[in-house]
Structure 1
Amino acid sequence: MNIEKILQEELNLKSSQVINTIKMIDDGNTIPFIARYRKEMTGNLSDVVLREFYDRLNYLRNLKNRKEDVIRIIQEGGNLTDKIKSDVEKAKTLQEVEDIYLPFKPKKRTRATIAKEKGLEKLALSIMNYDINDINSEAKKYIDEEKDVKTEEDAIKGALDIIAEMISEDASLRKIIRRIALNDGVISCKGSTEEKSVYDMYYSYSEKVKTMAPHRILAINRGEKEKFLKVKLELNEDLIIDKIKNINIKNKSNQLSSYIEQAINDSYKRLIFPSIEREIRNHLTEKAQERAIKVFGENIKKLLLQPPVKGNVVMGFDPAYRTGCKIAVVDENSKLLDTTTIYPTKPQNDEEGSKKVLIELINKYNVNIIAIGNGTASRESEMFVANLIKEIDKDVKYIIVSEAGASIYSASSLATEEHPDINVSIRGAISIARRLQDPLAELVKIEPQHIGVGQYQHDINQKRLGSVLEGVVEDSVNAVGVDLNSASYSLLQRVSGISKSVAKNIVLYRDEVGEFKSRKELKKVKRLGPSAFVQCAGFLRIDHSENMLDNTGVHPESYDACKKLIKRLGYTLDDIKNKNIEDIDDKIKNLGIENLSLELNIGVLTLQDIINEIKKPGRDPRDESIKPVFRSDVLKIEDIKEGMILKGTVRNVVDFGAFVDIGIKNDGLVHKSQMSDRFVKDPMQIVSIGDIVDVKVIQIDLQKHKVSLSMKGI
């Protein structure tokens, strides 16, 4: 099994790309490091492709190991033939390998194994091979009272059980039936028409296996789990049984054929179909889960890379009813200034007293923005804040912020470390304020699966979801870079090459010694060795470093080349720092990037990255994203009319469309059919979380508080 060749063909890569990437992965390099600083080695593969490469490499290695194990086990049992060995070696999936191994796999006692214990295997093989003239006479030879074979019928029945199991374990046959199920099978759902539920549309529903959309699969699975739906796979039974007969019945006129036919019918209904049905349902679920995980990952990435709202004093407002709304004020650097609790919502409805408290805080700390969590009592709190803003002579705006995961963070050990003297209930408000100021720095404190920006995330394999999302977070953090002197250890541990313990050691060093003056000072941190330094250094930034390159994405290993480039272009480091390089593009064009690459002995891709970094030292890529929309007034669903054009913020993207915050209690839905005049298969090709979009109101359901929106023709 040539893993390198398979990866090359499947991912359409060159041999050198595959060989180099495998070596770098095996040498312990992280995906962000490989993607950013080894572009010449990979041929400029993105972190997304490298993650796919990594997953596929692991699968193929597991497949190779399983093949070797299966061949060894079958050989040890004395059953290995050249054909079996060849079939295993040719298998392309773990499922195919398991199909071949099935007849040799140790089993619990079955009807067939019991029949074999009674000595009926030879009779079964004789029937299958048409080696009997008179079945009753032959069966009589196997009567044995001690083995509970009392009659010819008992012997024949046991032999047919063995034949049924043999047929069900035929790997080539299972492959044929599986293909039929995938191409022509139908998933059918039934529900109680008397019981209303969110699964109404599936109460009498059927769809071909091959066309089922991932979100429908997950919805049906949940409906079945909650006992609203009964789900089954429907196949053309007659067609499949005829295929099994054509393979196993060699002489239709022979009396033995009728017995083999009995075994075939039993094999299909009792053994093959239930097994294939489980496989197909599992296959659909896995496919749907992988898609849901991908959607979740892309949404998380967009959320993490939302532009930070810098230079503002922010009031975090965590809405509630009975227990009161929790308030936290943080300064421009996210330092906590003050906290309180107010009761503007029911049952207290103390709007006047609450306004007085907030106005004092706004004036005392010069608050610019109020960030309101989007949970319980969010819209009532929004109306209260909007009315408050109208009454003060100050430019204050508000914005609705996702509070997903804030309560989990509040009760975490990390939150206790950060705010040991602050009540758990207040910590959520601090998180809400800070996630507006720097979404990435704050959201990394929460396990990504608890940030609700996906579809059916609780129905997904949590281990797989966690693994994929951890990769997304790691890629996002490293794409932005981290301020070495201000980052929390929860953010630092997401940096390439830095473990949780090393991240804590960095913070400890900072507390004991003071701010880092240079990247090379990292080498003094306990347990941060040479290899970890290579992996992490390029992703860490030092704003006021002795060397201004420490505040760029230029890796220390390229400092010499970078300095030579700057000198060759006629600049100094101060020119770069002060951005006195207006004619840099003209100079590079005149010299030629290929010539510079040869002259500096550095790859063209790496050289281009260095040029991009010195053009914008200290650049935060998130600053180039669309800024969030701030509001000073509130809309009610009763205020909007069909045909209205509104501006909104995309809050979530799923397979069937996007949810857009237009300023009312519930986000409106833009179904994918309303996103464009052309067919939209994947909404993520049209919008992303955080996008500011113009939408038209096309339908309002006041009873369900639902609004349907359209982006077409605007």
Structure 2
Amino acid sequence: MKCLTHSLSQEFSIAEKYAKNILALFEEGATVPFIARYRKESTGGMLDVDLRRFHARWQYLVELEKRRSSILTTLEEHPHCPAKVLLKIKQATTKTELEDLFAPFKTTRKTKAMEAAEQGLTPLAAALWSGELLEQPKDISAWLALHNLTLDANEALEGALEIMTEALSQDAGLLQQARERLLSNGEVRSKLVRGKKEIGEKYRDYFEYHEAANKIPSHRLLALFRGKKESILRLNIDFQGSVNELFRLNLSHLVNLFESKKSEKSTGFCKLTVRQQGYLVRAWDKRIHSKLESDIFSILKEQAEEGAINVFANNLNDLLMSAPAGAHRVIGVDPGFRNGVKLAVVNEQGELIDHGVIYPFTSETQKDKAIARLESLIKKHNVAWLAIGNGTASRETEQLANQLIKQAGLSCRSVVVSEAGASVYSASDVAINEFPDLDVTIRGAISIARRFQDPLAELVKIDPQAIGVGQYQHDVKASQLANSLANVVEDCVNKVGVDVNLASASLLSYVAGLTKRMAQNIVDYRRQKGRIESREELLKVKGIGAKAFEQCAGFLRVLGGREILDRSGVHPESYSLVRSMAKMMNVQVQSLLNDTSAMSQLQGKFADFSGVDRYTYEDTLKELAKPGRDPRPEFRYAEFDQSVQSLSDLVEGMTLEGVVTNVAAFGAFVDIGVHQDGLVHISQLADRFVKDPRDLVRVGQVVKVQVLEVDEKRKRISLKATNL
């Protein structure tokens, strides 16, 4: 534990006491949101993103130690494991290094080198390696006769070479250095598989392609790996130079590759002879290159997957934290041509109060009926917004709605919103439980309306991978992606806070400390008992004990309850501190809320309150100044140009308003209302160098763009940002 603590404190540049505290909190079952928000004194104020990294690294090191222990236990029974190898295993800092060191001792199928060793040819390999013996048939025959071995000289030579090749290909130091050199100086190359040009057209940019292994971005790597998986592309790693240049490394330990008397005398020499370099080249061609190529592709794929997952996670975070429209009456509109336009009216709390289907695009008669029905719903329910899904027929439906609003003089407004994942939700168990008697299409319209009101509260019901803000999500490890996205959702939910009396079980399940079962129990408790009047009342809910309450209480809001502080982000464990503050100021507790003047007077008086750390004191002041403040931005929506409905309406030079739907390392995708997102390449985001597109744009952001080029055949739109 002490060694682990020291290692983590060094790696994260924090005091060892903080590393120890964080590990203790994790082992006690504390969640990242809780630690980041309410245990800053134990972490030195570490941010949630750093705590996530700390947790992941801790798990890696724990797994590393388990694997090290397992290997050492196995090698205890191995009679031929040198003490220096055991020492290296004990000092190894990565799983790759461990496996390299262990590889020669694994029980595997019998190789040609093993067969040669059983024939007694290891001393011959040692003599050839050291230069004591030359590769001359007469010399080898003499050596065989001297050692009473009745073998053909050529067969013996081939066996000795196999022993050398295997020994070199299993040398951990050689592999590590060559792997590092290939990563830093190698090139990834791709070629078209013969006969696959026609079916592989989408990969044509990679038919003859090469790029430095240490510079190729994750999205290109994943495209290459997909092309390889589909048998369209052939990939390899090239080293720019000769094999001798590749191995111009510190390989002095290889001088004693075999423990012969001759090699012992050569201990002082650090440079391989020309003959030994020749054996090394042979080993490279026969075994090492293919092994390292596989290793490096695994490393690159892991890095690419991590990059893709980070892009997805960042985009998901931006989407979930995008501005809510708020408590308005909304008609969720799921557009369609032949199957009609589905309508769902929800009230300010997102409860369904009416629904229906209209068919404005089948005939003029049906169009008149559809307009009348829509107008009736708007007036009957005093609707403020029409939230229109951006799928098939969305622009036509938006145009119809805007004409109605203008001609009838209605006070409501229309907006096009992303419907990604709505169909997934509509067929899910969550939707079925919520609306068992409704058609799936109406459930989709409800989801569109609710996500307009509050994206976070509604999108948590949908599998994050179905929301559509990532790239190549099907090419990365599903479990790793799911864990990363779940962490994002958890962090977003806890940053915003949750109204315990309105939240769905899906939303509650992401609150720190609550399981899905506990979340459902809270919903069931509300149905049976009615409103929850205080945070303390949560302890009456089945399954919520002292530990779960400690973790979740600060993130749950009770509006209009018995305890005024329950509406804030102040944790119940700090209520006594607030009461002491009120007593010092000679006011009631409720008078402190939103009183910036009182907060200014209390600023810097941390020492006047015993038993409270500085972090908790300052965070409490911030929360009292703006209790329950929503960290999300103010609501804003894009107004699409009504004259632009499809790709054919776009003209180069046209300036349009759109909304960012996806951000990648190479640029941002923007919905401009033509059913095909346009790309603002990173070079077109600004008139200056941009290292990371997320420095300027986020998912959900409204931007102005200029059309640079339209390729209708490939359905590609090139854009330039004009207001960043």
TM-score normalised according to structure 1 size:
0.91
In 1, Cα distance between equivalents of 2:160 and 2:397: 75
Q: Which residue identity lines up with residue 137 of structure 1 in the other structure?
A: A
Give the SS at the match of 2:76: helix
Supply the distance in 2 between the matched residues of 1:97 and 1:196 (Cα, whole angstroms).
40
The alignment partner of 2:202 has SS state of: coil
Conserved? CA contact 1:35–1:50, under 8 Å? yes
Q: Percent identity?
A: 39
Which residue is equivalent to 2:266? none
Matching residue of 1:473: 489
Structure 1 residues 295 and 392: alpha-carbon distance in aligned structure 2, compared to 1, 3 A threshold: same
Give the 3 Å change call, closer, same or farther, for CA 178–695 of structure 1 in structure 2.
same
Structure-1 residue corresponding to 2:694: 684
The answer on whether the counterparts of 2:599 and 2:621 sit within 8 Å (CA) in structure 1 is: no
**Aligned residues of 2:390 and 2:675 also touching (Cα < 8 A):** no
Distance 2:626 2:539 in 1: 27
How many angstroms apart in 2 are the aligned matches of 1:468 and 1:411? 24
Q: Is 1:556 matched with 2:566?
A: no
1:229 matched to 2:233? yes
Provide the C-alpha distance between the structure 2 equivalents of 1:87 and 1:345, rounded to a whole number of angstroms: 74
Shift of 1:666: 2.1
Partner of 1:206 in structure 2? Answer: 210
Q: Is the 8 A contact 1:177 1:240 kept in 2?
A: no
Q: What secondary structure sits across from 2:510 in the alignment?
A: coil
Residues 1:603 and 2:608 aligned together: no
The equivalent of 1:59 in structure 2 is 60
Letter in 1 for 2:326: K
Contact 1:489 1:503 in 2 (8 A): yes
Mapped contact 2:639–2:658 kept (Cα < 8 A): no
Distance in 2 (alpha carbons) for counterparts of 1:337 and 1:143: 97
1:627 aligns with 2:643: no
Residue aligned with 2:188, SS: strand
Residues 161 and 263 in structure 1, CA contact (< 8 A), matched pair in contact too: no
Q: How does 1:149-160 map to 2 (within 5 A)?
A: 151-160=152-161
Whether the 8 Å CA contact 1:190–1:230 is kept in 2: the answer is: yes
Greater Cα shift, 519-528 or 562-571 = 562-571
* Deviation of the 1:258 alpha carbon: 9.6
Q: Could you tell me how far 1:118 is from its partner in structure 2?
A: 4.4
Aligned mate of 2:306, from 290, 294, 313: 290
- Tell me how many residue pairs correspond in the alignment: 701
Conservation of the 8 A alpha-carbon contact between 2:30 and 2:551: yes
Question: Structure 2: where are the runs of 5+ without partners?
Answer: 257-261, 264-272
Residue 104 of structure 1 is matched in structure 2 by: 105
Q: 1:238 to 1:383 in 2, by over 3 A?
A: same
RMSD: 2.9
Q: Judge conservation of contact 2:457–2:507 (CA < 8 Å) in 1.
A: yes
- Secondary structure, aligned partner of 1:694: strand
Which residue, out of 418, 421, 438, partners 1:405? 421
- Are 2:244 and 2:281, in contact at CA under 8 Å, matched by a contact in 1? no
Q: For 2:371 and 2:115, how far apart are their aligned partners in 1? A: 80
Question: Are the counterparts in 2 of residues 299 and 653 from structure 1 also a CA contact under 8 Å?
Answer: yes
Q: Is residue 316 of structure 2 the alignment partner of residue 300 of structure 1?
A: yes
In 2, Cα distance between the equivalents of 1:554 and 1:337?
35
Q: Is the 8 A contact 1:371 1:400 kept in 2?
A: yes
Matched residue type, 2:665? D
Mapping for residues 171-570 of structure 1, pairs under 5 Å:
171-191=172-192, 197-235=201-239, 236-239=241-244, 243=248, 264-345=280-361, 350-570=366-586
- CA 359–230 in structure 1, closer or farther in 2 if over 3 Å, else same: same
Q: Which amino acid aligns with 1:479?
A: K
1:583 is the counterpart of 2:593 = no
CA deviations over 1:128-150 (Å, ceiling 9, x no partner): 34555821233467898xxxx86
Contact 2:200 2:232 in 1 (8 A): no
SS at structure 2 position matched to 1:198:
helix
Whole-Å separation in 1 of the counterparts to 2:417 and 2:90: 54
> 2:682 matched to which residue of 1?
672
**CA-to-partner distance for each residue in 1:170-220, whole Å, 9 max, x for gaps?**
111111211221111001112266666222221211101011111111111
Q: Which runs of 5+ in 1 are unaligned?
A: none
**Structure 2 CA distance for partners of 1:244 and 1:111, relative to 1, 3 Å:** farther
Change (3 A) 1:704 1:163: closer
Give the letter for the 1:76 counterpart. Answer: E
Q: CA deviation at 1:347?
A: 10
Q: Is the 8 A contact 2:186 2:212 kept in 1?
A: yes
> Are 2:78 and 1:73 aligned?
no
The answer to whether the 8 A contact 1:311-1:332 is kept is: yes
1:266 shift after superposition = 4.0
2:33 counterpart residue number = 32
The 2-side partners of 1:171 and 1:349 are apart by 79
Equivalent residues of 2:174, 2:251 under 8 A apart = no
Match of 2:268 in 1: none
Q: Is the 8 A contact 1:594 1:604 kept in 2?
A: no
Per the TM alignment, residue 432 of structure 1 is displaced from its structure 2 partner at its CA by 1.2
For residue 604 of structure 2, give the secondary structure of its aligned residue in structure 1: helix
Is the 1:189–1:206 contact (alpha carbons within 8 Å) kept by the matching residues of 2?
Answer: yes
The one-letter code matched in structure 1 to 2:386 is: I
Q: 2:97, 2:48 → 1: CA distance?
A: 31
**Cα–Cα, structure 1 residues 493 and 194, in superposed 2: closer, same or farther, change >3 Å?**
closer
C-alpha separation in 2, matches of 1:299 and 1:99: 37
Which residue of 1 is the match for residue 13 of structure 2?
12
Shift, 1:512, TM fit: 1.3
1:639 Cα deviation (Å)?
4.9
Which one is further off, 511-520 or 595-604?
595-604
Change (3 A) 1:526 1:619: same
Secondary structure of the structure 2 residue equivalent to 1:76 = coil
- Paired residue secondary structure (1:594): coil
Q: What is the one-letter code of the residue matched to 2:235?
A: V
Higher alpha-carbon deviation: 32-41 or 263-272: 263-272
How far off is 1:635 after superposition? 2.8
1:711 is aligned, of 705, 721, 724, to 721
User: Are the counterparts in 2 of residues 35 and 47 from structure 1 also a CA contact under 8 Å?
Assistant: yes
In 2: Cα distance, 1:350 partner to 1:240 partner: 77
Which piece of structure 1 moves more, 684-693 or 77-86? 77-86
Report the CA distance shift for 1:349/1:189 in structure 2 as closer, same or farther (over 3 A).
farther
